[in-house]
Structures are given as C-alpha cells and as structure tokens.
Amino acid sequence: MRYPTIRICWLLWLAVFTLAAAPAYAQTPRVSVQVDGVGGEVRENVLAFLSLYAQRAHPALSEGRIRTLHRRAEEEIRRALEPFGYYRPTVRTSLEQRETDWLARYEINPGPRIPLTEVDVQIIGEGADTPAFRETLRTLPLQRDAPLEHARYEQAKRALQRTAASYGYLNARLVRHELRIDLEAYEASAVLHLDSGPRFRLGEVEFHPTVVRPELLQRFVPFEPGEPYRSARLLELQTALGDSNYFADVVVQPRHDQEEDLELPVEVRLTPRERQQYTVSLGYGTDTGARTGLGFENRYVNARGHRLRGDMLIAERRNRIAARYIVPVRDPRTDSIEYSAAWQDEQARTFRSETLQISAGHTRARGSWRETIALTYLDERYTIADQRDRSTLWMPSGSWTRIWADDRIYTRRGGQFGFDVRGAAEELGSDVDFTQSRVQGTLIRPLLPRSRIILRGEAGTTLIGDINELPASLRFTAGGDHSVRGYAYRSLGPTDAEGRVVGGKHLLFGSVEYEHTLYGLWSAALFYDRGNAINSISDPLESGAGFGVRWRSPVGLIRLDVASAISQPGNPWRLHLRIGPDL
C-alpha cells in the first residue's frame, strides 16, 4: 500500500513550506498613510481612492508593490477631489522607509473650487407648469455661481425623477443631463432637461377577498377613480388599512400592466391578523399602587368589521372591569359608534366609590379635531368622609380633542388641547341637576438642542346648587402623578369640618417643566406645579416642586419624580412614578 507513504511525504512538505514561509510573513512591511491639508468627507474620499491606504495591511505587500502604489497616489488624489469641485489641486508626496515600516505622506492644497456659472434646468411636456415641479425647481440644490459639487448635481437629478414618479408622470425621462467642466476658463455648467410625458390617473381599487367586506374596505380609499395619480394617495391607503388593526400586512400596487387611457387600476392584497388577542400586564403607579391588567380583543367580530374589547384592572386603590363594542361608520379611519359598559371600585384617602357605567357614543373627525357625542348612564354608590349615598344619572356629553406632535411617544414639538362638557337633569330621570365643563392642554417645545419645555394647564367648573349632591367620581380633586406633584392622589380640595377632603365645584391647575437630555435615552427634569380643587375663587392654591429622571423605554417615557409640597408645613417630600407617552 503506497497511500500512507504518499500522505506522510505531503505532510512533511507542507511543514517545511510553512516553516520557510513564516519568517517572510513575519517581516511583512507595515505602511502608515498621512493625509494633510483636507478634512471631513473630503479626506475620507481621498483615503477611499488611495490604493496604498486600501492595501496597507495586505499580507503579501512588498517594497516594490508599495512604491508602485505610491506612484499612483497623486492621480488618485486628484480624482478624489473632483467630486467636491477641486480641479486645481497641488499635491506633494513623499515615501519614507523606517526599518520594516513605511510612512507615506500626502500634503494637499486643494486650491479654489470651480464655480457653477450656468444652470439650465427645464421641464418639458405636460408637467411643465405644475405646482409640484415649480416647487421642485425652486428648491433644487443647484445654484448659479455656487461652488460645484457632483453630489448636488446627482441630488438634483433624483429630485426631478422623484417628483415625476410621485405625481404620476410615470413615463418621464431625462432627455439631457450634462455636467460640463471647462478647465481653461475654470468654470462649470449643469444641464438637466426632463420630459415629463403625460400624467397618469388612479383607477378602481380591487381588494383581494379577506376577513371583512369589500364595502367596508372601499370606505378606506382616500381617492376617487379618475383622480390624478399621486403616490402619496396610495401610501395613505396603505397606512389607513395598516392602522385599522384588521391586517398584519398590506400591499398596495398600481397595475401598470392593466393601464388603459392613462388610468391605472390599484390592487390591494391583505393578510389578516389573528382574530383574537390576549394581553397581560404588570405595573406600578403611585396613584394606583401595584397593578395587574388583563386584556382581550376580537379584532373582527363579523365581516362588517365590528370589534369587541375587554379589560380588567386589579390594583391597590382601583379595580375595574370594562367592555367596549365598536362599530365603524362612514369613514372607518376616524368615525365609529361605541357601546361600552364598565364597573369600577376606587378609593382614596377620604372617599370610596363603586360605579356602574353604561354608555353609547359617536366619534368622528372634524378637520383636525376629534369629536365624541355620548349618552352615559351612571349608577354610583359612594362614601365621602361621613357622607354615604347613592346616585343615578343620565348624562349627555360632548368632547373635542386635538393632538399634534412630531412624535406621540416622545414629543419635541407638539401639543394637545381638549374641551368637554356633560350634565344631567332631574326631568330626564337623574337624581340631580348639574352642568360640568373642563378644558385642558399641553404644549411642548424644544428649548435647546438637548432640552425641552413642557407646559400643562387644566381648568374645570360645575354649575350645581349643592356640591354634596354630586357623586364622588364627578367632584373635582387635585394631587397625584397627573396633577400637583408632592401631594397624594386626590388629596387636595375643599374639606369638611374635620379637615377631610370632600371635593369641589371648580378646578385650577398649571405646571411648567424643564427637561434636559443627559446621555442616550436618559434625561433629568425640574418642575413646578400649582393648583387645587376649590369652591370659590378665594380658596388657596397649593404648590409642589421637585426634580426627576426620565428614561425613554420601548413602551413609553418612564418618569420618576421626587416632589416637595412646598405650600405645606415642613415641605414634605413624595415620590411619583408614571409610565406613558407625552400626549
């Protein structure tokens, strides 16, 4: 058998070769590259063009190869400078050997940037005088007499093509695109001529069969057939269907292969979500104490898109069971009829209330406002200090809310404003006559690059003869995480003869907070709160102030505050913990 002998010979040969080669590789020269005279992205581009820099750590690099690559460097540097408009550079090169190491130096004087003396941009065809192209031309990054940058020329090309595609000029093409360099005169000119071609239109929308009826899906469509094509309209449709919570995946595709007379049908393919969802949550808040939550949702009870949601909260100071049945109407993106029922047991320092609430409401959009008109039945058993009573009310109500923000979870610039009114009358089957209204708002603005200011305010009033006739859940109180910090939850308000809080007719509250980002997702805050529940304008307001830390977690902003009740004797301190979005 010869195979073992052959194998042993090969192994010996490989060992000899490895030992012989090891010294050579151990002495592979190292090259340092030094570039002076330019910085930032210009220097980065020079290094990207330099072959010697790219191969400086190559294991097979030799002295001959180093010198060859060094001789190429000047031409490579010149080509690296041209995209930034430097066409007359001076480059001084040197190569120095230090034992087994090498130092390559390149001193660059980029010289003046070539000016763009002529800019010729034209739109030809049907889109020549449209607002979209006029705005694009107005904001093009090509300016006459500005230094030439190749990147800006490419950006201008993409801007024209992007506008054409976004506004339905789907056959648009650049019939001329030239960047001319005159080195003798040392000037440059840019020429871009776009032929827009005709504008396409949006056609009928076809939905593939799914879990809800086509009639409901058609109400999500934000355009009419025959409307001029805009890609933003298709994105709006995709977003609306995705936000509906019916579907896990939405694909909206114009059918170019079915185009007829410049009209493009739209095909929508939908992947439904699981019908049912269950959630479990654990948490803690200083207003509620430790809490556990269970949730249930049937995303589509039937093919008409009805939804059923239920939740249960078990907490130290509040227990709640609730259910909601939601029916989409008119525009399902914003409009619905909702039927709800809830039982709640809540206690604070001086009161306890057990409520059963049943309501029906209609929510719709009015421009940028969200309006809800509802009728609520309330059956409440409550204890306030020594008063123990029961109240039955039929309450019509209305609320109007507007929210605007750059980011709803962590807002740098935005706000929220809301107004609501509700009431009851004995003539309509209630135990008491009253009218109550409330207005509240939040304004958030950046103050410095790493800081923001948060202003909050709230005011409410109740028209009623005797506040003692109003159930506990409808009386105004203050204090807690969302109110005047430094005071316990619902611990501020008018008191009885023994100093126990019984709630008031009116509410006033204001807050100012300064927040500064410290590092990454962490920030610190300083705040001052002032307010109270009152029965008369002469009643005193209470103040709280303190500091806190913030962490932008995946589930929302976590706020930990230490606040002092500065209008109380001894200025007692209190800890507040709250989790949730800014608005």
CA distances from 265 to 196, 225, 236, 574 (A): 21, 9, 16, 62
315 occurs within a structural domain: no
User: Is residue 153 domain-shared with residue 225, that is, in the same domain?
Assistant: no
Beta bridge partners of 291: 283, 315
| pLDDT over threshold 50, residue 359 | yes
Domain contains 418 = yes
Q: 188 and 231 in one domain?
A: no
Where among 139, 170, 195 does a domain terminate? 195
Distance of alpha carbon 357 from alpha carbon 66, whole angstroms: 84
Q: Within a domain: residue 76?
A: yes
pLDDT tens digit sequence for 524-567: 999 999 999 999 988 999 999 999 999 998 778 899 999 999 99
Amino acid, single-letter form, for residue 300: Y
Note whether 463 and 524 are same-domain residues: yes
Q: Are strands 307-315 and 289-298 parallel, antiparallel or unpaired?
A: antiparallel
Claim to verify: residue 517 and residue 558 sit in the same structural domain: yes
CATH code for position 39: 3.10.20.310
Residue 266 belongs to what domain range? Answer: 201-272
Q: 416 and 484: one domain?
A: yes
Other CB atoms within a 10 A radius of the CB of residue 12 amount to 10
Strand, helix or coil at 287? Answer: coil
Is residue 270 scored above 70 in pLDDT?
Answer: yes
Q: What's the pLDDT at 27?
A: 57
Report whether pLDDT(20) > 60: no
Whether the pLDDT of residue 329 is over 90: the answer is: yes
Is residue 338 included in any domain, yes or no? Answer: no
Q: End of a domain among 195, 221, 251?
A: 195
Alpha-carbon distances, residue 38 vs 93, 106, 492, 543 (angstroms) = 14, 10, 65, 58
Indicate if 178 and 217 belong to the same structural domain. no
Give dist(CA 532, CA 535) in Å, integer: 10
Q: What is the mean pLDDT of residues 8-34?
A: 54
Within this chain, do residues 91 and 177 fall inside the same structural domain, yes or no?
no
| Average pLDDT rounded to a whole number, residues 334-361 | 93
- How deeply is 268 buried, as exposed, middle or buried, from its count of CB atoms within 10 A (0-12, 13-18, 19+)? buried
- Asked if residue 6 has pLDDT above 70, the reply is no
Q: Which of 56-65, 105-114, 220-229, 430-439 has the lowest mean pLDDT?
A: 56-65
Say yes or no to pLDDT of 3 above 60.
no
Whether 435 and 449 map to the same domain: the answer is: yes
Q: How far apart are the first and last CA of the chain?
A: 84
β partners of residue 388? 383
Confirm whether 300 is domain-assigned. Answer: no
What percent of the chain stands above pLDDT 70? 95
Say yes or no: 426 and 444 in one domain.
yes
Clarify whether residues 147 and 240 are in a common domain.
no
Domain count for the chain:
4
**SS3 state at 232:** helix
Q: Report how far residue 131's alpha carbon sits from residue 198's, in angstroms, rounded to the nearest whole number.
A: 15
Q: How many CB atoms lie under 10 A from the CB of residue 386?
A: 11
φ/ψ bin of 461: left (φ > 0), alpha (ψ from -120 to 50), beta (otherwise) = beta
Question: What does the radius of gyration of the chain's CA atoms come to, in whole angstroms?
Answer: 36
In the predicted structure, residue 507 carries a pLDDT above the cut 90? yes
Over 70: is that where the pLDDT of 467 sits? Answer: yes
Average pLDDT over residues 388-406: 95
DSSP H helices, 182-285, are 214-218, 231-243
Residues 101 and 155 in one domain: no
pLDDT band at 7 (very low <50, low <70, confident <90, very high): very low
pTM above threshold 0.85: no
Is pLDDT above 60 for 9? Answer: no
How many residues in total does the chain contain? 583
User: Is residue 64 a part of any domain in this protein?
Assistant: yes
CATH number at residue 557: 2.40.160.50
For 161-203, give the DSSP string. Answer: HHHHHHTT-TT-EEEEEEEEEETTTTEEEEEEEEE--PPPEEE
The two structure tokens encoding residue 229: 């094509």
Q: Which of the residue ranges 225-234, 278-287, 508-517 would you say has the lowest mean pLDDT?
A: 278-287
Residues 511 and 393 in one domain: yes
Query: Between β-strands 263-272 and 201-207, what pairing exists: parallel, antiparallel or unpaired?
Result: parallel
Per-residue confidence (pLDDT) for residue 24, from 0 to 100: 42
The last residue of a domain, from among 195, 228, 243: 195
403: in domain = yes
Least confident of 232-236, 309-313, 465-469: 465-469
